[in-house]
Structure 1
């Protein structure tokens, strides 16, 4: 009598439950791998998460995406959460400027239903924060930007600010347009940003397709998407999810071993390190990636979020950007938070590139930002502040400085079956949700290309490109 022994299913351990880890785990599970996902925190979602503050549900920061973020949008659809996000039918950014004398001027950056670059021409022609000569300068720089070759490695050695000045840009155009958009997407001012990354952002978001820059936001707390929906979908795909589980050691071998802080030892054919750059560096054995000693040179940049709840409505739009003020972007979070005080409004300020402010005491931040909100929104002058608090992400993104590209590792390492994922890896995108998801796909692509076939077709990335 003979027995047929079933072939062992290939196994994978994904370390990190942010968007990169969620994406990689789903892809590998769909391809027939036996997947375990580890997350140190008690919830999934990485830095795009929610928490409770009394009866309030608070997002740690305002995370937006653009229509061109096809991989992130694909993940949202994969999680069955498409109804939980809102996407503008057409780009429309209210920009509220404050003059030195306190005068307020409202302008808008919005697109028309015309081809690139005419889709923004009408809006720019009426943009009150720039004079006619500066508007013409912006057009010339945009055309020069569109002509840049993103594959040229020399772009990464140049500061975006230096390049803009060579294109005739002035402090006014930097403040009213280039840094208005760039600081929010790159988490650095033009002078501290690689031209390669800035060119990628502006070419893709503003100069590739008329609708590429339309803004999307979650219509529910981020945790409802990145934890609740993600956890349900991972479990449906057969992924074993271990929360509050920290990986402390990786031992590469024919079957890699991942030791947890609890002492448990997991073995797997594939290990994806999908956490933050410092966490991955701590687990990687020496020599795992080329120039590994330089990984610490890939710096970090902070994001500060200021939360203020007023006893009345101050803002009738979902958000606006500010000029002539320390305030950068203001969002209405009332409906998302479940705020139960009748007539009250919850405003969140998203402040990027704030190295000088990230560690200031809450009282000092209150003294800095509440008067600024009164200048921007005069109705705040007679309103009562019911609550004020801040959330800080000191290492929110990698530092996008010139020379960054050479420091960002690819998904593959020198160790077969050990892969990297995270928005800090070499995706070509800045540290965004889109970059995180794309990195998860890159790691899964590499694992599936190297591993044994299973006959399972992996999930669609959401951008129409199937892995090859």
Structure 2
């Protein structure tokens, strides 16, 4: 397809990148404006001065059910930098290890043996857990999304231990919020799409390189081949309007950049500031500012020896939720085969409780948790630790939040929203961000009289899952 329509994409996070990629492939003249000196938005890396290691602000993980994120990575030539994990390990508060992997059975039975192998639950608890999972997936209340999971779980027979050691572990990791701030609809989607509908939906995908490489040179080169112009360090001060139509953007240096259509892919709390008060006061713009966010913290640790003999693990009943082994890194200023430290990244989702706590205190607690996991960790010495918090990491999927999330087309002609905070039908995830970018591009194509389906279908639902759960 060839088009003379010019499009400005404001914001170089995943949503903006997805919109620019889709429109570039559709033949549009696209310019992406990003205020920072890099792409990726919240998916960023930086160099830790003490260790000289390049570290991510937060560990980014997707799942097999994230079909649009997978397509995005494949179309831009970065899929080879993301590795699929088909085996996970849960470590209980008592140190018991449970291997979690799919059995050669059709969905939804493929993960049943793994659930039954969770060693920190009795057989009776596992049956209660399975009844709770079935009730959630079949729940008609999810359509109304008026109840939090903290309210729903006890009402459906889930004990405090099951809530703390299963539901909280899975949902807080997936949605980055506490159970009292997770709506039933979002929780249902996690289990229905990730664990029940398709055999591969639960599989974890982890970048094998720092995030700034994932969304760095290789991606920029691909954009160049698509004809997408990327302008970094280019901040937008306002959306330029003529009546009810968007005609361009005013940069912070007062330069006017004109375009036929604009995709606004900035965080939701920055939307209204780009418009006059009369426009920013409209319901769709105010709804964006009303959306709440949740923090995610990462604790980066460098030890003189390995403290865990697994590539990653889910830690149950601890402040630490996930731990990822990031490999051996050279000791600054030293040479030789043994001159290396072992680097780990611990993720704490929904890290509200860390606010106000001294960094050293949090690091000490995490170190104690890690060094208690295996005998091999005894005597390990922490060489350096660092706490990094993304304070507005994700949208809080509170009950009823979907009613506030705006759709891509706006009341301003030629202006479109994109971002994981928009109405994608998905929680605030990488998949949701990419979907929003594709949807904005799809809407532009439709408005230009050239409709094209860009959003990819979710994984096919197995016949047995349809029969048992009505999916």
Q: Is 1:75 aligned to 2:72, yes or no?
A: yes
Residue deviations 1:365-390 (CA, integer Å, cap 9, x gap): 22322222222244333112121112
1:3 match: none
Matching residue of 1:209: 198
Extract unaligned runs of 5+ from structure 1. 1-6
Deviations 1:350-401 (A, max 9, x none): 0011112044332222232222222224433311212111211000011111
CA change 1:459–1:298 in 2 (3 A) is closer
Q: How large is the RMSD of aligned CA atoms in angstroms?
A: 2.4
Structure 1 pair 311–225 and aligned structure 2 pair: CA distance change class (3 A): same
TM-score (norm 1): 0.90
How do 1:452-463 and structure 2 match up within 5 A? 453=450, 461=456
Partners of 1:43 and 1:461 in 2: CA distance: 27
Relative to structure 2, which stretch is displaced further, 161-170 or 340-349? 340-349
Q: 2:274 is matched with which residue?
A: 283
Q: C-alpha distance in 2, partners of 1:360/1:270?
A: 46
Name which of 385, 388, 396 aligns with 1:388. 385
Structure 1 residues 223-256: Cα deviation after superposition (integer angstroms, max 9, x where no partner): 2212222211112111111111111111223551
Give the equivalent residue in structure 2 for 1:192.
181
Cα shift at 1:166: 1.9
Alignment match, 2:309: 316
Distance 1:146 1:40 in 2: 42
1:122 pairs with 2:122: no
State the distance in 2 between where 1:140 and 1:301 align: 30
Q: Is the 8 A contact 1:302 1:358 kept in 2?
A: no
**Distance of 1:38 and 1:359 partners within structure 2:** 35
- Residue deviations 1:182-214 (CA, integer Å, cap 9, x gap): 101101122220111111111100111111101
Distance change (3 Å), C-alpha of 1:460 and 1:138: closer
Q: Where do residues 90-109 of structure 1 align in structure 2 (5 Å cutoff)?
A: 90=86, 92-99=87-94, 104-109=95-100
Contact 1:30–1:459 (8 Å) recurs in 2: no
> 1:333 pairs with 315, 326, 331, which one?
326
Q: Which residue of 1 aligns with 2:444?
A: 447
TM-score computed with the length of structure 2 as normaliser? 0.89
The match for 2:260 is 269
Q: Please, which runs of 5 or more residues in structure 2 have no aligned partner?
A: 333-337, 461-471
CA-CA distance at 1:86 after TM superposition? 0.7
* In structure 2, distance between residues paired with 1:339 and 1:206: 41
* Counterpart pick for 2:11 among 11, 16, 33: 16
Separation in structure 2 between the aligned mates of residue 372 and residue 61 of structure 1, nearest angstrom:
19
Count residues with an aligned counterpart: 448
Using the alignment, how far apart are the partners of 2:269 and 2:106 within structure 1?
43
Say which SS state the counterpart of residue 239 (structure 2) adopts: strand
Does residue 177 (structure 1) correspond to residue 181 (structure 2)? The answer is no
The answer on 1:344 being equivalent to 2:341 is yes
Mapped to 2, the partners of 1:80 and 1:423 lie a distance apart of 22
Q: SS of the counterpart of 1:334?
A: strand
Structure 2 distance, partners of 1:58, 1:302, is 18
Structure-2 residue corresponding to 1:148: 139
CA distance in 2, matches of 1:338, 1:218: 21
Does the Cα contact within 8 Å between 1:56 and 1:339 map onto a contact in 2?
no
Structure 1 runs of 4+ off > 6 angstroms?
337-341, 457-460, 462-465
Do the aligned partners of residues 388 and 27 (structure 1) sit closer, same or farther apart at CA in structure 2, a change above 3 Å counting?
A: same
Assess, with a 3 A threshold, how the Cα gap between structure 1 residues 328 and 255 changes in structure 2: closer, same or farther. Answer: closer
1:300-449 equivalent positions in 2, closer than 5 A: 300-334=293-327, 342-449=339-446
